[in-house]
Amino acid sequence: MNIPLLLETENVSYIIGNDAIEKSPIKFRQYKRIIVITDENVEKHCLPIFKQKLPSLIIDGVITIISGEENKSIHQLIYIWNELTRLNVGRDDLIINLGGGVLTDIAGMAAATFKRGVQFINFPTTLLGMVDAAIGGKTGIDFARFKNQVGLFINPSCVIIDPIFLDTLEDLHWQSGFAEVVKYGLIMDRELWQKLEGKKYKDVEDWNSVIIKASKDKIDIVRFDALENGIRKNLNFGHTIGHALESFYLKSGNPVTHGMAIAAGMICESWLSSKIFTLECTRLESIVKMIDLNFNRFDFSESDISRIMQLMKQDKKVRKKKQNFSLLRKIGKAVHEVEVEDQLIIESLEFYINRKKCN
């Protein structure tokens, strides 16, 4: 029998694992009305599953936005506010955010700001949402061409993580979430790393336990550092170079998924970890092998590196002139706020494109 994990933190309840939706203790009847915010893909593929799992739940309104990072915009936020107004949503109602990372980011912001805050619950439907975006209270929109430029830290009252929705995912979305799962293994969870090492994501047998482990890792971090003043920065491993690569491909009209960019970033930043800390060559090589097994390498060349470096300078984590990284002391142990010289970052990108060996 499946028994989902119930975790209570100071202000959020988490229910994680198979059958989490139907076994959650949420008392929907305490709310006057239930409004679902979703996107057109999730409405088609996941909303029917959701309704099937909660047959007695009466949904009083569905607000459907357009999916995709390019739509995490002020226009869609205004659209949600307009719909909430039209439906006369009040503070005794409940908003259910059903979707991936983009959806829980924007709908969380809409719920938190509408009438100074309507209660909401996140039901993530993608792997990335389950192990990362729906947990930790980051909400927001992209603005003025910058990712997550406007937003707020605000927690849902509950996060229900049910792997049932994974059956609806396309390969690209599996892969994107998998990069974040691997990241938890590398930064804090050696046991998870050992479970995954050498495997393609398609060969992982027990996704239920992997999701429980990875989401619990994230909860453990955000319950100690909700506002990203310290240990939460460890979650940025792979993201400093990864975000620059994501922007580089977006601006060249050839967008890549967040996970693909983070996977490439983790190769470069593992190399930096081997240069700055004591991450051994054999360990670096096993990380590179694992990532190469699951992700194709990007094809940027040495002449693109200066542009990628420029994009990195726009990163939120830049302090003074040097770039700030979260790196690995060893597998399962990350450190944050490590300043790295530009020359070493350039060499890490060269290590990536030239498929160099560790030395």
Which residues would be at the binding site for ligand GLY (CB under 6 A)? 132, 136, 138, 228, 232, 235
> Cβ distance 315 to 244 under 8 Å?
yes
Measure the CA–CA gap between 288 and 294, rounded to whole angstroms: 10
Kindly tell me which of 258 and 283 has the beta carbon lying closer to ligand GLY. 258
Kindly tell me which of 116 and 319 has the beta carbon lying closer to ligand GLY. 319
Residue 355, phi then psi, degrees to nearest 5: 45, 50
Kindly tell me which of 16 and 305 has the beta carbon lying closer to ligand GLY. 16
Measure the CA–CA gap between 41 and 34, rounded to whole angstroms: 20
CA 336 vs. chain centroid, Å, equals 18
CB 107 → ligand GLY: shortest distance, Å? 16
Tokens of 189: 């969870």
CB 234 → ligand GLY: shortest distance, Å? 9
Kindly tell me which of 213 and 232 has the beta carbon lying closer to ligand GLY. 232
Measure the CA–CA gap between 324 and 314, rounded to whole angstroms: 12
- For 228, the 3-state DSSP assignment is coil
Kindly tell me which of 17 and 101 has the beta carbon lying closer to ligand GLY. 101
CB 253 → ligand GLY: shortest distance, Å? 26
CB 100 → ligand GLY: shortest distance, Å? 13
User: In a 10 Å sphere around its CB, with 0-12 CB exposed, 13-18 middle and 19+ buried, how is residue 23 labelled?
Assistant: middle
**CA geometry: angle 224, 226, 229, nearest 5 deg:** 90
CB 232 → ligand GLY: shortest distance, Å? 5
Sheet strand arrangement including 94-99? 5-8, 13-16, 158-161, 119-124, 94-99, 34-39, 61-65
CB 132 → ligand GLY: shortest distance, Å? 5
Kindly tell me which of 134 and 272 has the beta carbon lying closer to ligand GLY. 134
